[in-house]
Amino acid sequence: MDPERDFSELPEPGEPGSPRVGVDEWVAQADQLEERPTGIAGVLHRVGEVVTPPLRLALFVAFAATLPLWLSTGDLFNYGIFVLLYVLLGLGLNVVVGFAGLLDLGYVAFFGFGAYFYALLSSEHYGIHWPAIVTVPLVVVSTACLGLLLGIPSRRLLGDYLAIVTLFFGQAFVVFVNATDPVVAGKGLTGGPNGIADIDPLSFFGFDVTTRTQQYYVLLVAAVLVLVALHFISESRTGRSLRSLREDPLAAGAVGIPVNRLKLLAFAIGSGIAGLTGCIFGTVLTAVTAGNFDIPILITIYAVVILGGFGSLSGVVVGATVITVSFQFLAPENPQSNARLLFYTVIVLVLALLVRSWWRLALVLAVTVALGLSVHAIVEAVAPSWTGGAVVEGGRFADAIGNWVLIPQEHANFGNFAYVTLVVAVLVLTQIRPSRRIFALPFVAYLAAVVWETSFVLQPAVARWILFGALLVVLMNVRPQGLLGTSRVEIV
């Protein structure tokens, strides 16, 4: 640079004639320049712009409140109550992981602690029957304190180290609860593997919460209160500082935010919510055992938060709904027609997300259908035994599927081979050029349908996890920030 250059000759920025360097005007027009998402993603995007948080909450409450009117008691338990339980658990985890960015893998232990502590104070176990109006606040505060207690030694740990310590804590809880041997020691503190049974129902001012509908409404009230409270916290000084410590703890400290104290606060709020959920969970099941608070539940809660998007409150509600409902649809004891419906919906959704233009999507779907029909017709003419199998569980939709998908009569390993081929086909699909991908989509979609009808339908317990994993993988590729998340995720 020329050392003699006099910068005072230059016009001031903003004056006429000043260089427009750095006044990146295209950023000013970013809204107009932004590529509008098309297809399904576009519709969702526009809906999201119109629906503000209060309206979202109102819609959610309006919908959730009518649920007991048109769901059977069993369905209300399986869908309504469990969705709300996962909403609450997801909201608590979201404070720790989503707001404050602390990877807490022991979260489910606080849920368990809440449930067990409530059970000890309100059941036949010790013959203590404190009223819920005393027990619930006591349990929530104690669980929050336990969160603090775990937080104090962990607050200097970052990332992976924190994850390992908290994971250990979670496992230690399960081992501790299971440790009593009922044969030797009687029921002990926790009842060991038998857990604690006959937990008192929640009761407020002499009113017992016993029926499923009542329990559902108690959960709904709790979920709405927690949602509103967390929304207000998120929009406050505390929420901002929690997020800033997630973004950059060092910078947060440098602008006056007491980083360690806020980490403890996040732990305490998150565990308190988990403790509250534990109380309600115990009364809903009327019994608690250690298996209810083990790794699979932790994974599911994380899936709820990841699917919805870290840091997003409505994301938790969406994530909990999607995951609980799809898990129930895929449950072995439920009719396969539900699972089938879910499967084909997911296939169409995935295609819609990948194709992102209405007429192309229609084309891909038409080609897929035509492909199936012609493959089926050709095979039937050449080798009838390959199409002679029956569709599991009839119905009009299933019958139509039977005329479209290859279901061999014998050929026992066909399903397994088809599954392996599908995995390879999906891998190939991710490797070919995006512009050519659309041509491969109908084949892969059809293959997936074949695998479903010949293999997964027969083993729902395995299929639910495979489908669930596939769902998360697809989501993480299409929207790494989660359905309603806003954080930018760097993909390297």
Partner 1 sequence: MSGDPAPLLELRRVTKSFGGLRSVDELDLDVREGEIVSLIGPNGAGKTTVFNLVTGIYTPDEGAIRLDGRDIAGLPPHKISQLGIARTFQTLRLFLNMTVKENVMAAAYGHTKAGVLRSVLRTPGMRREEREIERLAEERLAFFGDRLVGYRWEQPAYSLSYANRRRLEIARATAAKPKLLLLDEPAAGMNPVETHEMTELIGRLREEGGYTILVIEHDMHVVEGISDRVIALDHGEKIAEGTFDEVATDAGVVEAYLGSAGAERK
If one counts every other C-beta atom within 10 angstroms of the C-beta of residue 400, the result is 12
Nearest distance, CB of residue 419 and partner 1, angstroms: 39
Residue 27 makes contact with partner 1 by CB under 8 A = yes
Nearer to partner 1 by Cβ, of 157 and 287: the residue is 157
Nearer to partner 1 by Cβ, of 237 and 396: the residue is 237
The Cα 95–Cα 104 span in angstroms is 11
Nearest distance, CB of residue 45 and partner 1, angstroms: 16
Nearer to partner 1 by Cβ, of 259 and 484: the residue is 259
Nearest distance, CB of residue 267 and partner 1, angstroms: 13
Of 41-49, 178-186, 259-267, 316-324, which segment contacts partner 1 by CB under 8 A?
259-267
The Cα 332–Cα 335 span in angstroms is 8
Tokens representing residue 419 in the block: 């599954």
Nearest distance, CB of residue 303 and partner 1, angstroms: 21
Q: Strand, helix or coil at 213?
A: helix
Nearer to partner 1 by Cβ, of 93 and 245: the residue is 245
Residue 436 makes contact with partner 1 by CB under 8 A = no
Residue 351 makes contact with partner 1 by CB under 8 A = no
Nearest distance, CB of residue 137 and partner 1, angstroms: 14
Nearer to partner 1 by Cβ, of 228 and 341: the residue is 228
Residue 380 host element (H or E): helix 358-382
Residue 378 makes contact with partner 1 by CB under 8 A = no
C-alpha angle 37/40/46, rounded to 5°?
60
Of 1-9, 214-222, 282-290, 406-414, which segment contacts partner 1 by CB under 8 A?
1-9
Residue 492 makes contact with partner 1 by CB under 8 A = no
Residue 258 makes contact with partner 1 by CB under 8 A = yes
Residue 204 host element (H or E): strand 202-204
* Residue recorded with tokens 């849920």: 111
Residue 141 makes contact with partner 1 by CB under 8 A = no
Residue type, 349: L
Nearest distance, CB of residue 33 and partner 1, angstroms: 12
- 337-345: Cβ within 8 A, 24+ apart: 337/393, 337/395, 337/397, 337/398, 339/457, 339/460, 339/463, 340/393, 340/397, 340/398, 340/401, 340/452, 340/457, 341/397, 343/452, 343/456, 343/467, 344/449
Binding mask 5-24 for partner 1 (x = CB under 8 A): x-x--x--xx---xx-xxxx
Nearest distance, CB of residue 240 and partner 1, angstroms: 4
Of 2-10, 56-64, 166-174, 331-339, which segment contacts partner 1 by CB under 8 A?
2-10
Q: Strand, helix or coil at 37?
A: coil
Residue type, 356: R
Buried b (16+ CB within 10 A) or exposed e, 326-341: bbbbbeeeeebebbbe
Of 26-34, 329-337, 360-368, 439-447, which segment contacts partner 1 by CB under 8 A?
26-34
Distance of alpha carbon 351 from the chain centroid? 21
* CB-CB contact of 275 with 111 (8 Å): yes
Residue 274 makes contact with partner 1 by CB under 8 A = no
| From 15, 17, 30, 70, residue interacting with partner 1 (rule: CB under 8 A) | 30
Nearest distance, CB of residue 173 and partner 1, angstroms: 26
> How far separated are the first and last CA of the chain, in Å rounded?
36
State the sign of the Cα–Cα–Cα–Cα dihedral 255, 257, 259, 260: positive
Distance of alpha carbon 418 from the chain centroid? 29
Binding-site size for partner 1 (CB under 8 A) equals 47
Residue 159 makes contact with partner 1 by CB under 8 A = no
Nearer to partner 1 by Cβ, of 187 and 231: the residue is 231
If one counts every other C-beta atom within 10 angstroms of the C-beta of residue 231, the result is 17
Nearest distance, CB of residue 319 and partner 1, angstroms: 19
Residue 309 makes contact with partner 1 by CB under 8 A = no
Nearest distance, CB of residue 232 and partner 1, angstroms: 5
State the sign of the Cα–Cα–Cα–Cα dihedral 23, 24, 29, 31: negative
Binding mask 213-252 for partner 1 (x = CB under 8 A): ----------------x--xx-xxxxxxx-xx--xx-xxx
* Residue recorded with tokens 């509600």: 317
Nearest distance, CB of residue 202 and partner 1, angstroms: 22
Nearer to partner 1 by Cβ, of 244 and 454: the residue is 244
User: Considering only CA atoms, which of 361, 455, 463 is closest in space to residue 406?
Assistant: 455
Residues that bind partner 1 (CB under 8 A): 1, 3, 5, 7, 10, 13-14, 18-19, 21-24, 27-28, 30-31, 229, 232-233, 235-241, 243-244, 247-248, 250-260, 265, 269, 486-488
